[in-house]
Amino acid sequence: MIRLFVPKDVSALAVGADRVVKALTQQAGEGVQIVRTGSRGMTWLEPLIEVETPEGRIAYGPVTPADVPGLLAAGLLSGADHPLRIGRPEDHPFMVRQTRLTFARCGIVDPLSLDDYRAHGGLEGLTKALAMGPEAVVAEVTASGLRGRGGAGFPTGIKWKTVADAAADRKYIVCNADEGDSGTFADRMILEGDPFCLIEGMVIAGLAVGATKGFVYSRSEYPHANVSFTEALILAREAGLIGPDVLGSGRSFELELRVGAGAYVCGEETALLESLEGKRGMVRAKPPLPAHIGLFGKPTVINNLVSLASVPVILAKGAKAYADYGLGRSRGTMPIQIAGNARYTGLFEAAFGITLGEIIDTVAGGTLSGRPVKAVQCGGPLGAYFPPSLFDTPYDYEAFTARDGLIGHGGIVVFDDSVQMGAQARFAMEFCAIESCGKCTPCRIGSTRGVEVIDKIMAGTEAAANMAVLEDLCQTMKYGSLCALGGFTPYPVMSAVRHFPEDFNGSGISAKVPAE
Amino acid sequence: MASKTTNLVADWDPNRAAEIINAHLGLEGPALPILHGLQAAFGCVPSEAIPMVAKALNRSRAEIHGVVTFYHDFRDAPAGKTVVKLCRAEACQAVGGREAATFLLASLGIGWGETTPDGAITVEPIYCLGLCAAAPAALVNGEPHGRLDGMALIEAVAEATQS
């Protein structure tokens, strides 16, 4: 039996993976099994198909249905040479430079096979956690230096300790999988490509802090991920990984998937909790922290999906092994997601400390269009635009903060020199206006006023005076907003103004994009 | 919001709505799962269902109306037969997403969130499908499409409307 591997990740489906599978099924003949996997993260090569050979898995991509007859004739099934052959994926320069810890299995295993999961190191972390006991698990996660991968960078272990120490009849683990930042897809890739890893991380969290119920809050924009994660939950329950008696330990942990309804602000942790409770996704004032008063008023660990999915490998390999990677106070690895106008797009998991320039010029290979890079937006729609002059910035929470930016959830969107930064600044304000929960005034009204004042600047109407208004408005939003939506929208706006003043010269070139 | 006296939902069925509501009442925080269930069944959250949800959850009609209208997903009338969820966010902008969107909307003669007069096609703005490494991207009747340009987008929509 020859095994072929074709991703079922939605990024592969979006460029025709199912049509390639259909062609292979019809043409490859008897004795060929097609295994659907997650994505390796080399998205520019999707659909990337692999064949199992004595030399390891050999990849070909990007493959179209029209390529299939030629590939088979050339000897695809024995890994033979072909213009689309890229060799063993792990030998590809894009993969060689990576440190795959959290995404070690993604793209390799059948995401819905627990046997495959175990064969690739799955459940080692949970097995150790059960042997160690709750306090030691919390200490281990603290010692690993793991910080919130959603962007805030709060130490995960301290959050867990707070919930573990809280006395309550019921506690919750909530996974924030409301990955709304443009340029990010790491959560989605785990949900589709290695769902048991998230389940294992949440079970460990539940055992460590004494929580018996978990929720994964995903997005309606991720229908494929939600279907596959639902299947994974069923399999996990059948196998006793979740349920009344986790792996025979006598401990109970239930897990449920919930799906949002298209509100970006629900990625903010307190808005997410409100939404889970069935309310409008309005941000809560903090304190109280969710660790004290969280979901349904109970102590709640709310972590980003990547944070939770990093826990199994931390327990399996030990805190020190994880903390040995990284720089300064940013320990371990980060799945950097390269998107937009880049030649090599995809997911690149690396230890903190790699410079932005290395990521853009070497890993991403510059722009897809071949034109010069003008700006990269790091950390989603609330992240700053970095010009190439700042490409020496190391990928590290503090280093980005020092340059008025943020790494956020790890997204990097590359723009070539055709981008008009006034339009991008306007979009940042427009997006904030569309997605504001409306609770605080700086965000609710500031964003709409921001769109108007940028339009005036772009139209050349009292440009200097209006620029002063814009700066003042951004200060008010930054310091007066309740959460990061209003508080961070000034980052893309002001970085565009500071680094690209020529795009705000009041020349009358409108920054308007098609209206809502 | 739809007028309370006009029934926009052709297949409105209060018994079915009640079944959907009751099926979710055992959940913690059942409101969103109920609303998703109603929209899956009726193509929207019918205004007739709001007092039913309110009563079942022991909340006011105003509160439930507030929840429904907060979330971009929930509709007060069914969408067109083919729904195009087209990403407007930055990663898609960086590779021609604005141009592709403008091309599609102009050729259909509608704006964002609107439905063609024959009820065939609705184009909804969406902010990120997580297909940022294969941008510009869209979901056409739930089918993902990546590396789009204006022509490819129109072809994808045409194919969906014919099937």
- Characterize the bridge pairing of strands B121-126 and B82-87: parallel
For residue A411, list its beta bridge partners.
A337
Interface test with A, best of B27, B32, B58, B149 (most A CBs within 10 A): B32
Q: Does A276 touch chain B (CB under 8 A)?
A: yes
Structure token digits, residue A509 = 């070139």
The minimal CB distance from A14 to the residues B32, B105, B144 is found for B144
Q: Does A46 touch chain B (CB under 8 A)?
A: yes
Segment 298-317 of chain A within 8 Å of chain B by CB: none
Where do runs of H (alpha helix) occur along A63-155? 68-74, 93-96, 114-119, 124-132, 134-144
Structural domain contains residue B56: yes
The minimal CB distance from A183 to the residues B36, B132, B137 is found for B132
Say whether both B158 and B87 belong to one domain: yes
Contact A514 B101 (CB under 8 A): yes
Say whether both B99 and B153 belong to one domain: yes
Is residue A43 within 8 A of residue A345, CB to CB? The reply is yes
The minimal CB distance from B135 to the residues A220, A256, A339 is found for A339
Say whether both B88 and B131 belong to one domain: yes
Evaluate whether ipTM surpasses 0.90.
Answer: yes
- Residue pLDDT tens, chain A, 516 long: 999 999 999 999 999 999 999 999 999 989 999 999 999 999 999 999 999 999 999 999 999 999 999 999 999 999 999 999 999 999 999 999 999 999 999 999 999 999 999 999 999 999 999 999 999 999 999 999 999 999 899 999 999 999 999 999 999 999 999 999 999 999 999 999 999 999 999 999 999 999 999 999 999 999 999 999 999 999 999 999 999 999 999 999 999 999 999 999 999 999 999 999 999 999 999 999 999 999 999 999 999 999 999 999 999 999 999 999 999 999 999 999 999 999 999 999 999 999 999 999 999 999 999 999 999 999 999 999 999 999 999 999 999 999 999 999 999 999 999 999 999 999 999 999 999 999 999 999 999 999 999 999 999 999 999 999 999 999 999 999 999 999 999 999 999 999 999 999 866 444 444 444
Structural domain contains residue B55: yes
Q: Could you check whether the bond before residue A288 is cis, i.e. omega within 30 degrees of 0?
A: yes
Say whether both B24 and B50 belong to one domain: yes
Contact A263 B72 (CB under 8 A): yes
Structural domain contains residue B9: no
Mean pLDDT to the nearest integer, B132-140: 98
The minimal CB distance from A182 to the residues B27, B72, B132 is found for B132
Domain end among B47, B70, B93: B70
Structural domain contains residue B64: yes
Which residues of chain A lie closer than 8 angstroms to B71, CB-CB? 260-263, 281
Say whether both B87 and B26 belong to one domain: no
Could you report the per-residue pLDDT of A412-451, keeping only the tens digit for each?
A: 999 999 999 999 999 999 999 999 999 999 999 999 999 9
Please tell me the distance from the alpha carbon of residue A376 to that of residue B128, in angstroms, as a whole number: 17
Interface test with A, best of B69, B70, B108, B153 (most A CBs within 10 A): B70
Say whether both B23 and B89 belong to one domain: no
> Mapping DSSP to helix (H, G, I), strand (E, B) and coil, where does residue A87 land?
strand
Say whether both B110 and B53 belong to one domain: no
Range of the domain at B134: 82-162
Which residues of chain B lie closer than 8 angstroms to A180, CB-CB? 127-128
The candidate with the shortest Cα–Cα distance to A424, out of B94, B74, B104, is B94
Question: Taking the model in full, what pTM does it have?
Answer: 0.96
Return all residues near B73 (Cβ < 8 A) that are at least 6 apart: A220, A260, A261, A262, B36, B39
Phi, psi of A50 (to 5 degrees): -130, 150
Structural domain contains residue B1: no
Which residues of chain B lie closer than 8 angstroms to A338, CB-CB? 133
Which residues of chain A lie closer than 8 angstroms to B128, CB-CB? 179-182, 184, 221
**Which pLDDT score is estimated for A510?**
46
Structural domain contains residue B105: yes
Say whether both B65 and B101 belong to one domain: no
Count of residues making up chain A = 516
Structural domain contains residue B106: yes
Say whether both B66 and B87 belong to one domain: no
Say whether both B48 and B86 belong to one domain: no
Structural domain contains residue B8: no
Q: Could you check whether the bond before residue A134 is cis, i.e. omega within 30 degrees of 0?
A: no
Count of residues making up chain B = 163
The minimal CB distance from B74 to the residues A179, A180, A261 is found for A261
Say whether both B63 and B118 belong to one domain: no
> What's the structural domain count of chain B?
2
Say whether both B89 and B136 belong to one domain: yes
Distance from CA of B130 to the nearest CA of A (A): 5
Taking CA–CA distances from B106, the nearest residue in chain A reads A514
Which CATH number is B101's domain given? 3.40.30.10
Q: Where are the beta strands (DSSP E) in A307-427?
A: 326-327, 330-331, 333-340, 346-351, 373-378, 385-386, 411-416
